[in-house]
Amino acid sequence: MHIDVNSAFLSWQAVYDLQRGADVDLREIPAVVGGSQEERRGIVLAKSIPAKAFGIQTGEIIWQAKQKCPGLVVVPPNYELYMKASNALYNLIKEYSPKVQRFSIDEMFLDYTGMEPFFGEAFEAAHKIKDRIKKELGFTVNIGIGGNKLTAKIAGDLKKPDMVHTLYDYEIPSKMWPLPVEDLFMVGRRTKKKLYDINVKTIGDLANTDIKFLYSKFKSFGNLLWKYANGIEDSPVAGSGITNIKGIGNSTTIRFDVDDKKTAFKVLLSLTESVAMRLRAAKACCSVVSVEIRTSQLNCYSHQRKLMTPTCITSEIYATVAELFEECWRGERIRHLGVRVSDLSGDDFVQLSLFDDRNRQKREALDFAIDSIRCKYGKNSIMRAVLSDGEFSPVSGGVGEDDYVMMGSIL
């Protein structure tokens, strides 16, 4: 099964507001979740069905959306709320199978193999799950059922909202092949254009194209596209709850143009803290760190470095981030900064070197302790002093154990 929340961010905000006495359901009026235009993050992140009727698209600039619908209601994003709602959904779904895998914050896969004696046939159980989510959590989901993750996901997208669909092998020609080729997983804008150029416009066209011809056009990717078009996919549902990830990153568009290192370092430190916390939550270490810069003229460039030893420690990652920024920044006014880590490995074993800090284990233990405090009391319950008092003078790009201040909410 593939479980997908309908208009996730907007639905979660609507339920939150209704629980606190709101008179209007955001899902029933033209409404969007979007960033602040004043903070230069003014794009649509999620939209209601009435907003969709005005032609408003996800990723569209807010002022353009308001031109289409002058009465559009815009609410700011609340990522802490989204994570709580996602976790509540995950905990509910786990009751129906020992193998549940998060695909994104609002999408999950459930392996229902062998669970029929407990909850009934898959179609019946899917309706029970869907209705229970609506009753207990207040939002709706689509559930797709298939023989593998690919067909389950396509099934869930057939018609929305609040529905259950199946896509078994014998249903592929009638339900899947008539769909436009861009509806197939892994077919993006560029691949769609290349497929259209060879007159492949539906998934059925792709499924019935000679695989040797596809290989001549797309190499090994052509073989993958042919398999997906024929519903062939065999990756298991990971029971860990977290899908295999290649990298973790975070970026931000800053409210004002940054033209000094002091402010840039603060932004980079905040981004690094977020990335490192997510890295530790995934029980992983990184071996590659990269920094992205976008200037006020919208020019982009980045820099990356391979680490000698894999790490999940905030101070070690930030030291590399600061060095990379020093090396690649050309002095322009900065509009956007990003930090990303990749080449991930497990955190159960790390080969140390002679050059590692002997306090490495203490720093790692400190980071995990801080993570637990933030998870329990909120992300602002403990923060670095340099981010709370406005003063920051990095020494060799590093941060130390005594750089934290406890906020009043937990004193």
- Which pLDDT belongs to residue 380? 77
Residue 112 near residue 47 (C-beta atoms within 8 A): no
* pLDDT tens digits in sequence order for the chain, 411 residues long: 999 999 999 999 999 999 999 999 999 999 999 876 555 557 888 999 999 999 999 888 888 899 999 999 999 888 889 989 999 999 999 999 999 998 888 999 999 999 999 999 999 999 999 999 999 999 999 999 999 999 999 999 999 899 999 999 999 999 999 999 999 999 998 999 999 999 999 999 999 999 999 999 999 999 999 999 999 999 999 865 455 677 888 888 888 889 899 999 999 999 999 899 988 888 888 999 999 999 988 888 899 999 988 899 999 999 999 999 999 998 999 988 999 999 888 766 566 666 666 677 888 889 889 988 888 887 778 888 877 754 433 333 334 444 554 444 333
Torsion of CA 226, 231, 233, 239, to 10 degrees: 150
* Class in CATH terms, 177-229: mainly alpha
Give the whole-angstrom CA distance, residue 153 versus residue 155: 5
- Which pLDDT belongs to residue 383? 80
106 assigned to a ligand binding site: yes
- The CATH number assigned to the domain with range 2-77 reads 3.40.1170.60
Cβ neighbors of 387 (< 8 A, separation 6 or more) are 266, 269, 270
Q: Catalytic one among 39, 107, 273, 292?
A: 107
23 assigned to a ligand binding site: no
Annotation says 39 is catalytic: no
Residue 63 near residue 104 (C-beta atoms within 8 A): no
Nearest to 334 by CA among 299, 369, 283: 299
SS3 state of residue 73: strand
- The CATH number assigned to the domain with range 247-410 reads 3.30.1490.100
Give the whole-angstrom CA distance, residue 329 versus residue 331: 6
- Side-chain-side CA neighbours of 268 within 13 Å: the count stands at 30
pTM of this structure: 0.73
Domain segments of the chain: what residues? 2-77, 177-229, 247-410
Give the whole-angstrom CA distance, residue 151 versus residue 164: 13
